[in-house]
Amino acid sequence: MNILYVILTSICSIVALFVLTKLMGNRQLSQMSMFDYINGITIGSIAAEFATNLENPLHSFTAMVVYALAAIGISLCTCHSIKLRKFFNGQPLVLYSHNKLYKKNLACAKMDINEFLTQCRIAGYFDLNQLESAILETNGQVSFLPLAEQRPITASDLGVTLQPEVLPYYVVLDGKLIDANLQASGRDEKWLEKELHALGMTQLSDIFFAAIDTKGKLYAIPMLEEKRQHNCFE
């Protein structure tokens, strides 16, 4: 009987976590503030307690709701108050600028020079002379501003006018037609059949993925069941 009770409370905790997460907003770990991270760990721990607490599961559930409401309240406050936003989320921190490394700011960021250089290399900067500035953002990521002569040339630099980019339309996923996307693209099934036939494909079930690209052309990837034997990462 206790096993069944644990199963039921576990299912309830999963449902509760899902609902509370949707209310709080599901952001990636790298986008979380310190409060979001702490709150997420705490709610997860309470959810586990809720699933296994056979005597007073309601207490754990109430605590989960309180933490979630606190997160929602703080999120609303930070949206409307700059001072509270700075208090809960912090401020960006300049680590490097104009060929100067700021040791105190690195210390505030709990980051040593080796870790900073690692972050530079991950971003593609192996030479600090390529950088104008490096800033620690409030989500824990380091953003980099390259020197003007190191940044890629853009169309505006060359005086070239480009056509606006548009999002591609995914029209076939896992062998199934996404009819709403096909209609939104301004095409119909006859057009799709014609394009697929030109690519040597006749059955939707044989297509793993197909999309209409930004130029209005269809590209498709066939469904392959066999497993690739060679793994170049081994």
Adjacency order of strands within the sheet including 142-146: 100-101, 93-97, 131-136, 142-146
Q: What is the pTM of this model?
A: 0.57
Q: How far is CA 129 from CA 117, 119, 147, 150, in A?
A: 12, 15, 8, 9
Q: What is the pLDDT of residue 75?
A: 78
Q: What is the pLDDT of residue 41?
A: 72
- Does residue 193 have a pLDDT over 80? yes
Per DSSP (E only), the strands in 13-129 are 93-97, 100-101
Instruction: Pick the more confident residue, 206 or 67.
Output: 206
* Spatial contact of 93 and 135, defined as CB atoms under 8 Å apart: yes
Alpha carbons 119 and 75: distance in angstroms, whole number: 29
Q: What is the pLDDT of residue 28?
A: 46
Span 222-232, average pLDDT = 69
Percent of the chain with pLDDT over 90: 26
Alpha carbons 31 and 51: distance in angstroms, whole number: 28
Q: What is the pLDDT of residue 61?
A: 74
Q: How far is CA 216 from CA 52, 119, 183, 184, 186, in A?
A: 54, 39, 13, 12, 10
Convert the pLDDT of each residue in 67-96 to its tens digit: 777 777 877 887 888 888 777 777 889 999
* pLDDT interval class at 226 (50, 70, 90): low
Convert the pLDDT of each residue in 138-192 to its tens digit: 878 899 999 988 878 878 878 888 777 778 899 999 889 999 999 999 999 999 9
Longest dimension (CA), the chain: 75
Convert the pLDDT of each residue in 130-148 to its tens digit: 999 999 988 788 999 999 8
Convert the pLDDT of each residue in 3-45 to its tens digit: 676 667 666 766 776 676 666 554 544 555 666 666 677 777 7
Instruction: Please count the residues of the chain.
Output: 234
